[in-house]
A = this chain, B = another copy of it.
Amino acid sequence: MNQVKTSPLFQPLYRQIKSLITQSLIAGEWAPGAAIPSEFDLADRYGVSQGTVRKAIDELAAEKILMRRQGKGTYVATHSEEEVKLRFLRLVAADGGKELLDNQLLSCERVKASAEMARLLAIKAGSVVIEIKRLLLFSGKPLIHDHIVLPAAAFKGVNTALIERYNGSMYRMYESELGIRMVRAEERLTAIGADAQMAAALSLKVGTPLLSIERVSFTYGDKPMEWRLGLCLTDKHHYLNHLE
């Protein structure tokens, strides 16, 4: 289990345990929402003390990959909790009102990836990708135009019916139908003016300022799995961010 500590490859024991737990997550040994073995059981399995397992789980919990529940156990985190809404969709109403988003699918088709898209998703140039376009409506009015690109190989079976069954909660769908869970994302924000196409889609005048959010999402092991471009009307909404 352990290595010589002077080796340049040396990792603390608890990080090696953390890797082993992550491997089990990737392998699907414990599904999202399920409980993992207790700290003492894992300590036995890996032949270390409970404190060491605890420190590994501490880090995974800080990364929101695992969730602790006192008295019950430690669980694989899920996108079905309310809390996640704000984590990956940071748009909130300016007046603090409650969000009631509606999903309107525009298209869902398989095409060949551009060189740029292949690079972003770390797949071979020319691989097939799924392109989804949709509108998110806030109390009936179009708020966000989303353009989503997924590597088709990993997202077999994704189609219009499936997306509509989840009412547009893409991350929940990935998780429940495909066992793919996003653990982090990188976003690039800019302000742009609506072009003719966007203006039509969102019922706006050409040139209306829109918040452009380009996102790449990663699953376990920092593997990019989704590219997304959201164009948002921000006259009555804010993108909320906490710097710490």
CB within 8 Å of B: which residues of A? 62-64, 87-88, 90, 183-193, 207-212, 215, 232, 234-235, 237-244
Known: A189-B238, A191-B234, A192-B191. A243 touches B87 (CB 8 A): yes
Min CB distance A171 to B, Å, is 11
Number of copies: 2
Majority SS of interface residues in chain A?
Answer: strand
Q: Are B191 and A209 in contact (CB under 8 A)?
A: yes
| Bound form: Cα–Cα A215–B241 in Å | 9
Q: Which residue of B lies closest to A190 (CB)?
A: B234
Question: Which of A63, A211, A215, A238 neighbours the largest number of chain B CB atoms within 10 Å of its CB?
Answer: A211
Add 8 more A-B contacts to A186-B242, A193-B193, A215-B243 (CB < 8 A): A87-B243, A88-B243, A186-B243, A188-B241, A189-B211, A189-B241, A191-B191, A191-B212
Q: Are A239 and B190 in contact (CB under 8 A)?
A: yes
- Could you show 20 A-B contacts with beta carbons less than 8 Å apart? A62-B62, A63-B244, A87-B243, A90-B243, A186-B240, A187-B241, A187-B243, A188-B238, A188-B239, A188-B241, A190-B211, A190-B234, A190-B239, A191-B192, A191-B211, A191-B212, A191-B232, A209-B209, A211-B211, A215-B243
